[in-house]
Amino acid sequence: MTVRWGEKRYYSLDYYLKTTYGEKLYKISLDGGMTCPNRDGTLGTRGCIFCSRGGSGDFAESHTLSVTEQIESGKKQSAKKYTGSSYIAYFQAYTNTYASLAYLEKLYMEAILHPDIRILSIATRPDCLSTEILDLLERLNQIKPVWVELGLQTIHERTARYIRRGYDLPVFETAVSELRRRGIDVIVHTILCLPGETKPDILQTIQYLNRQDIQGIKLQLLHILKGTDLAEIYASDPIPVPDPQEYYELLGACISHLRPDIVIHRLTGDGPKELLTAPLWTCNKRQVLNQLQSYFKTHDIWQGKEY
């Protein structure tokens, strides 16, 4: 194998940032105080079956603070492990385009104009991107780079219905097309080992994404968190949860088939320890990542090997 991404066998976010911006950027998770159509009654009231009460923003700052206050708090929190002064403002909790245009513009502008913010990253649903919001994102992208993270999870409609995703695949494809038409980078969030999905099912999702105009991907192992409908299902009828070796093998297959120019923003995930029911071995993130690198090297795996 020819080394392409520093010491890693895949195109990591860390490598992308250092080669693009000349330094590591620390991501500050923000809460814009929004909800989700899967929670406010528009599509449902209980959210996706895996989604925690924090709306996947369990590590975000408090929405009771202003954006600037959240950024400053995040900078203080990161000071123990990050000595730089450049950050990514990451609106993470719930659906971060699910509000009025005026509210979103005020929120995003406060973040993007902060002198220490280099990138604005927004996690949302593909069915919550109106033309007006897309145009706003395009204007913001002229100030500083804007990333939009779309929660796809899977391409399989049977699974999408089971997890209550709430939109069909063509909606995702339209969102990607409209964002790219405006020059905005797209990151796709996928969940591996969803109930009922096999390894071939998961690889079909990867191969589908290879054909989409996306720039980044998050490969998230399914976490079963307390207080979710998935946790109730798991308590009464435990669904299969992979052990580390099974997950490393699956992940190796995924990155082997992944298009080599797609930046990998996440390879595992670390749910809040106080909420995590399973798999508990993911709590030691550093150990997991080290073991992953060792597995890839031992089995001569690299991103795009089978692409």
pLDDT reported for residue 87: 98
Local mean pLDDT, 10-residue blocks, the chain (307 residues):
82 96 95 95 93 64 90 94 94 96 98 98 98 98 98 98 97 98 98 96 98 98 93 91 96 98 91 88 90 95 96
pTM of the model: 0.95
Tell me if 92 sits within 8 A of 59, measured CB to CB: yes
Which residue is listed with tokens 């120019």? 261
pLDDT at res. 54: 61
Rg (CA), the chain: 19
pLDDT at 285: 87
The H or E element that residue 151 is part of is strand 146-153
